[in-house]
Amino acid sequence: MVVLVTGANGQLGQAIQSISGKYPEIDFVFCSSSELNITNLENCQAVFSNYQPQFCINAAAYTAVDKAESEPAKAFDINANGAENLAITCKKFNTILIHISTDFVFDAYFSDGIAYYDRELRLPLKSNLGLIETDVPFPSGVYGLTKLQGEQAIQANWEKHFIIRTSWVYSQFGNNFMKTMLRLASERDTLSVVSDQIGTPTNAVDLAEVLIKIIESCHAELVSASNYGIYNFSNEGQCSWYDFAKEIFHQKGVSIDLKPILTSAYPTPAKRPAYSVLDKTKIKSTFGVEIKEWQTSLATCINQL
């Protein structure tokens, strides 16, 4: 079984590589952007023709959330056009596409203790466990918009797909919030972190394990055509970025004066979702996935640093 992974040098790509040895039955092909440029359809089809993959994990993405506001064309080319090229290519080679999306397709918020997922219509969340896959997306920035456009392009071009929406991804690989916090703590005595954005951290290695579980389920013919579509995945629980930072420092034994601040006190070019907790009921029931609490998974990651 051949599984082609795009974005091999990114955080998720490296996480998949770190566990690939546990699956000798899978022949992983890891492609960096220089080896497989998803914005080039001819290049995509040439690579697929060479490897003939049964599955493709698209871990390639433009993820510079703030920079996307000033580089919308580049973000669109990778996140939307690139996703469409892969969908077209996967259809041509009958390859099942597993595409990684984001909580940034939403901008839910809290008001009077209630979580809503539409600011204008004030529609409350359908699940008290968070956003579900059928909630209507409404991205507030370029990054979220281009990721949503990528989802839509895949849905329009190739039915054999799994779109996995995830949130707040971190790991021992690449650049991420956890590593940034530890670096800043080594440089400063005081640190202020936003406390009014609520979501769930996701260990990239846990995400990688789930992607392979989906592949194994498909390969064992445990997945029917009705199972294709969008799924949420993050670790369990919820917290603010301030809570996340506090737990990082606690588990690492770092002493620092950590202060909570409001989003309004820390303006950024791109607007962040105020609430993006994802309900994982669908992925757990469909694939029998067991999901760790975010604090537990963070401890595992910190031990691996």
Convert the pLDDT of each residue in 47-58 to its tens digit: 999 999 999 999
Which has more pLDDT, 276 or 40? 40
Rounded CA separation 188/135 (Å): 41
User: Is it the case that residue 125 has pLDDT exceeding 80?
Assistant: no
Q: Are 108 and 276 in contact (CB under 8 A)?
A: yes
Q: Give Dmax over CA atoms of the chain in angstroms.
A: 56
> Would you state the pLDDT for residue 219?
80
Residue whose pair of structure tokens reads 């839509």 in the numeric block: 152
> Would you state the pLDDT for residue 130?
86
260 CB-contact burial (10 Å; exposed 0-12 / middle 13-18 / buried 19+): middle
> Would you state the pLDDT for residue 112?
59
User: Is it the case that residue 296 has pLDDT exceeding 80?
Assistant: yes
Complete edge-to-edge strand list for the sheet that includes strand 55-58: 27-31, 2-6, 55-58, 96-102, 161-166, 229-232
Give residue 226's pLDDT band: very low, low, confident or very high (50, 70, 90): confident
> Would you state the pLDDT for residue 121?
54
Q: Of the residues 62, 117, 143, 228, which is catalytic? A: 143
Which has more pLDDT, 218 or 232? 232
> Would you state the pLDDT for residue 15?
98
Amino acid letter at 201? P
Output the average pLDDT for the chain: 93
Amino acid letter at 175? N
Distances (CA, A) of 63 to 146, 176, 274: 10, 11, 18
First to last CA, the chain: 31
Q: Are 48 and 4 in contact (CB under 8 A)?
A: yes
CATH topology of domain 2-113+126-176+200-237+276-293: Rossmann fold (3.40.50)
Domain positions in the chain? 2-113+126-176+200-237+276-293
User: Is it the case that residue 12 has pLDDT exceeding 70?
Assistant: yes
Among the listed residues 4, 93, 11, 10, the one whose alpha carbon sits nearest the alpha carbon of residue 57: 4
Q: Taking residues 228-251, report their average pLDDT.
A: 98
User: Is it the case that residue 148 has pLDDT exceeding 90?
Assistant: yes
> Would you state the pLDDT for residue 74?
98
Query: Under 8 Å CB-to-CB from 143, ≥6 apart: which residues?
Result: 62, 63, 64, 65, 68, 75, 79, 102, 104, 270
User: Is it the case that residue 115 has pLDDT exceeding 80?
Assistant: no
143 assigned to active site: yes
Q: What is the pTM of this model?
A: 0.94
Which has more pLDDT, 156 or 221? 156
